[in-house]
Chain A
Amino acid sequence: MVLLTVDGIECRYGSVKVLEDVSLSVKGGDFVGILGPNGSGKTTLLKSISRILKPHKGTILLNKADIYSLKSIDVAKQLAVVPQDTSIGFNFAVLDIVLMGRNPHMKRLQMESERDMAVARKVMNLTNIWHLAERPINELSGGEKQRVIIARALAQEPKILLLDEPLTHLDIVNQLEIMDLVKDLCIEEKLIILAVFHDFNLAARYCGSAIMLKKGKIFSVGNLADVLNSENIKSVFNVDAIVTKHLVTNSIFVIPLSPQKLSPSKKCSIHLICGAGTGTALMKILLDEGYSVTAGVLNVLDTDFETAQFLKIPVTTEAPFSPITKKTHKANLTMISEASTVVLTSVPFGDGNLQNLEAALIAVKKGIPTFVIEEVPIERRDFTGGKARALLAELKNKGAEFVKDQNELLSLLNVSVEKLKIAKEERDRLLDHLKPEKIPKEIKTKGKDKKK
């Protein structure tokens, strides 16, 4: 079985260190993903393994022999590379290019044998390009070219396959086909696969283990599940990501969130009354807009609860699958009283969470601006036999503002924040005037009018 050992290598371009103290050991049957942001040294690592860039320090061993002491042709019999971008100088036919993969197995002046042809045909059938055999390479599409290059690498009959972002030019079907093929080879023929990925989910789906590079150093290495978690992604890629297991593929599934926008903090806090995932999207948007956000009452394990945890939003929580108790209801009310605005999403209501609706009503009564999103009509999400419906109607009567969706809410919120500001300024001015020595009566009444 083939063994590849990288031992403490350091690579430099001129005086710039691009890889430092990188070590790893892989054996046949390992499918290793190399992850890392641009410029973290992924390609350099592949280059030093494929003998393009000799490490300044450290060794790379192929079956216990220093790879830099071997002859090119002997390395090429065992190791093939699918490079990032390919330009081909002259207009060769596809079959000719795939047969070039046989070069390490041919002697000088020797022509291709029937065995070479058989290998070429096999790999071209695997990559589904046999029908293109006689076409000139420059007339092919990007995806077809990429498959030709992969076929050429496979024609070398390698034991180790290095793939540098092999899927860049491929559409989704081709990506899956090619990766399935590579995975099969890895399992059946005990190949070592080292592949650079930009797509976490493709990496998660195919790699057994992974290396995460940050600024030329190994940040994390090991089983894919240990490497690909949201803490690592946050510290290496500086991006928040939700990492879960996908229900269908049962592989790790990563949803990167767009980097936090630095909108100026609005000094306005919004309390979300939500649940069952109805508040998830809103939490992120409101945070990005610069609001401080609280939420409650949410049951532990609820989707909205998990999102809130992830976004570090303060939440009033209740035990999983339990109705809201008096105690939590009270805590929620305290939270609401500290908020400058309350938003109620189109969450379904049952006896368990009906108290949240009452909390909203209390907010309105206290004079806290309250918005109700009514994306789904209450008839379809009222599981309390009309109690929720009645409460919602009361909310409307008491002056809660009803909006049809998130977008409308956001546009109103912006206005509302402005309004709040103006109102606050006005109140301050009033208070100023209300100081004992000068109290003109008109202003006093005007102030009362305003309150109405």
Chain B
Amino acid sequence: MNMDKVENTFFQRASRWKIIILLLILALIITVIISLNMGFAPIPFSDILGIIGKQIPFFDRLFDFSLVSPVNEAIVLEVRLPRIIAGVLIGAALAASGVLYQGVFKNPMADSYVLGVSAGAAVGASASILFGAGVMFFELRLIQIAAFVGAVSALFLVYNLARVGSRVPVTTLLLCGIAVNFFLFAVVSVLEIIAANRLHDIVFWLMGGYSNVYWQHIWAILPFIVIGIATAFFYVRDLNILAMGEETAHHLGVNVERSKLILLVLASLITAAAVSVCGLIGFVGLMIPHLTRLVIGPDHRILLPTSTIVGAIFLVLCDDLARVLSTFFGPMSTRDWPVGIITMLCGAPFFIFLLKKKKRSYGT
């Protein structure tokens, strides 16, 4: 009898999932440490470990950190670490929101662009570049706030346009999202036309990157992203069941409209927070969930955490590459290469490779 075999495999799954997550977290930590080593000034790993160790309470009393140079410490803590942590947060946010959007829409093409969230952020950012560059609020640049506000307003616009009575049919939502998306990008184009000498800034923002990020930016987005993803975890099983269709989900006891609204708001808040710092970084939100699903299966209970971590690792690595390329090929301009270009240049071919390899099992 294979009955017990099937049951055992099933119940071992929970521990298998835990191991996968632990391994991915380990991989993320290693990625972060390696990334701290990369850049103009070479800093030995021992120093990096020392600098980080020093920040951890209790640890700092066990070892002697006096050998670490204060310059290196400043570079690591004030320049490199914020950028890498930003990469972790943004990568995680984009991938997680991609999982949520694709789950709610049951559409493999859904990502943060689909509800106009990114487009809203782009309008906010472009307008602020045009009309209020350099204005600061509580140490945050106006552009970040404007992008966040733009993203959230776009979501509310789309959601209310798509609402039919008390229900929000997914198809209407998608169509409204696409329409609003086009409209908002047209607005961005208008802003670009009248931007004159600021055009360069807008274009760079649209390419997506976060080369000059500081701790205050991170603190501003951290709560949205962490709380957003954590809350989404309460709804992962709903996402699985939503994949069966809304009516079936309803029959299986899911409060469909409420779950859908909560998940979409969470996904959009997470995206808005990320986009407000990094501009439009493509590929991560769309492809990381697919990539993870190819390897790990469609169950959102494991898909959401793994995609989140894989997204973080992926974006940090892409940013490393962007920095290396800027070192070798720069300074063509005074800026680093936008990481948005790297994500697409590297990610897309890898994804196609995986798709070809696992074509059979990827039926939707």
Residues of B contacting A356 with CB < 8 Å?
none
CB-nearest residue of chain B relative to A92? B298
Chain B 119-158 interface mask (CB, 8 Å, partner A; 1/0): 0000000000000000000000000000000000000000
B248 closest partner in A (C-beta): A83
Q: Is A320 an interface residue (CB 8 A)?
A: no
* Contact present for A89 and B364 (CB under 8 Å): yes
Q: A87 in the interface, Cβ–Cβ < 8 Å?
A: yes
B354: shortest Cβ distance to chain A, in Å? 15
Interface size class of A (residues with CB under 8 A): 35 or more
Closest B residue to A158 by CB, please name it.
B251
Minimal Cβ-Cβ distance residue in B for A79:
B251
A269 within 8 A of B: no
CB nearest to A108 among chain B residues:
B234
Partner of B244, one of A89, A114, A131, A134: A89
- A28 proximal to B (CB < 8 A): no
In the assembled complex, B64 has its CB within 8 A of some CB on chain A: no
A50 on the interface (CB 8 Å rule)? yes
Chain A residues positioned under 8 Å from B106 (CB to CB)? 89-90
For A111, list chain B residues within 8 Å (CB). Answer: 14
Instruction: Tell whether A172 is near chain B: CB-to-CB under 8 Å.
Output: no
- B363 & A88 in contact (Cβ 8 Å cutoff): no
B197 CB–A CB distance under 8 Å? no
Chain B proximity of A419: nearest CB distance (Å):
63
Q: Which residues of B contact A130 (CB under 8 A)?
A: 3, 6
Is B299 interfacial (CB-CB < 8 Å)?
A: yes
- Using Cβ atoms and an 8 Å threshold, which residues of chain A touch B299? 92, 96
How distant is the Cα of A111 from the Cα of B7 in the complex, in angstroms?
14
User: Of the candidates B11, B243, B293, which one forms a contact with A117 in the assembled complex, judged by CB atoms under 8 Å apart?
Assistant: B11
Name A95's contact: one of B10, B14, B252 (CB within 8 Å).
Answer: B10
Q: Which of B2, B250, B254, B293 contacts A90 (CB 8 A)?
A: B293
- Closest-by-CB residue of B relative to A101 is B252
Chain B residues lying within 8 Å of A103, measured Cβ to Cβ, are: 237, 241, 252-254
Interface residue? B240 (CB, 8 A): yes
Contacts of B3 in A (CB 8 A): 121, 130
Q: Within 8 Å of chain A (Cβ to Cβ): is B362?
A: yes
Residue-wise interface mask of A (153-178) relative to B, using a CB-CB cutoff of 8 A (1 in contact, 0 not):
10010000000000000000000000
Q: Which residues of A contact B9 (CB under 8 A)?
A: 134
- Is A136 an interface residue when CB atoms closer than 8 A count as contact? yes
B248: A residues at CB distance < 8 A? 81, 83, 86
CB A16 to nearest CB in B, in angstroms, measures: 16
Is the pair A104, B253 in contact by a Cβ cutoff of 8 Å?
yes
Most A C-beta atoms less than 10 A away, residue of B11, B244, B245, B293: B244
- A77-117: contact bitstring with B at CB < 8 Å (1 yes, 0 no)? 10111010011111111011100110110101101101001
Shortest distance from the beta carbon of A155 to any chain B beta carbon, whole Å: 10
The reply to whether B298 and A90 contact each other, CB–CB distance below 8 Å, is: yes
**Contacts A72-B250, A72-B253, A108-B234 given; does A91 touch B240 at CB 8 Å:** no
* Shortest distance from the beta carbon of B47 to any chain A beta carbon, whole Å: 41
> For the complex, is B255 an interface residue (Cβ under 8 Å from A)?
yes
Asked whether A50 lies within 8 Å of B362 as measured between CB atoms, the reply is no
Q: Is the CB of B298 within 8 A of A95?
A: no
Is the C-beta of A76 less than 8 angstroms from some C-beta in chain B?
Answer: yes
Known A90-B243, A91-B364: A109·B234 in contact at CB below 8 Å:
yes
Please measure, in the bound complex, the distance between the C-alpha atom of A79 and the C-alpha atom of B248, giving whole angstroms: 12
A264 to B144, CA, bound (A): 81
How far is A296 from B10 in the complex, measured between Cα atoms in Å? 73
Q: Do the beta carbons of B253 and A121 come within 8 Å of each other? A: no
A112 nearest CB neighbor, chain B only: B10
Given contacts A75-B253, A100-B240, A108-B234, contact A91 B11 (CB under 8 A): no
Interface membership of B66, Cβ < 8 A: no
**Chain A residues whose C-beta falls within 8 Å of the C-beta of B297 in the assembled complex:** 91-93
Interfacial chain B residues near A73, Cβ < 8 Å: 253-255
Task: Name which residue of chain B comes closest to A80, CB basis.
Answer: B251
The residues of B that contact A91 with a CB separation of less than 8 Å are 297-298, 361-364
Can you name the residue of chain B whose Cβ is closest to the Cβ of A149? Answer: B248
Give complex CA distance A139, B363 in Å: 9
Interface positions, chain B 213-272, Cβ under 8 Å from A, are 233-235, 237, 240-245, 247-248, 250-256
- Nearest CB in chain A to that of B254: its residue: A72
Cα A87 to Cα B298 with chains together (Å):
15
Complex CA gap A94/B245 in Å reads 16
Structural contact, B7 and A121, CB atoms closer than 8 A? yes
Asked if A97 contacts B244 (CB within 8 A), the reply is yes
B251 touches A81 (CB 8 A): yes
Q: For residue A95, give the distance in angstroms from its CB to the closest CB of chain B.
A: 6
Are B255 and A72 interface neighbours, CB within 8 A? yes
Residue of A nearest to B234 (CB): A108
With a 10 A CB-CB cut-off, give which of B237, B241, B253 has the most chain A CB atoms.
B253
Docked-complex contact A86 and B244, CB < 8 angstroms:
yes
**A76: nearest chain-B partner, CB-CB:** B253
Which 6 A-B residue pairs are closest in the complex by CB-CB distance?
A76-B253, A90-B298, A104-B253, A89-B243, A89-B106, A73-B253
Apart from A81-B251, A101-B252, A109-B233, list 4 A-B contacts with CB within 8 A: A52-B250, A76-B253, A103-B254, A114-B11
- 6 A-B pairs (CB sep. < 8 Å): A90-B243, A92-B299, A96-B240, A104-B252, A134-B6, A134-B9
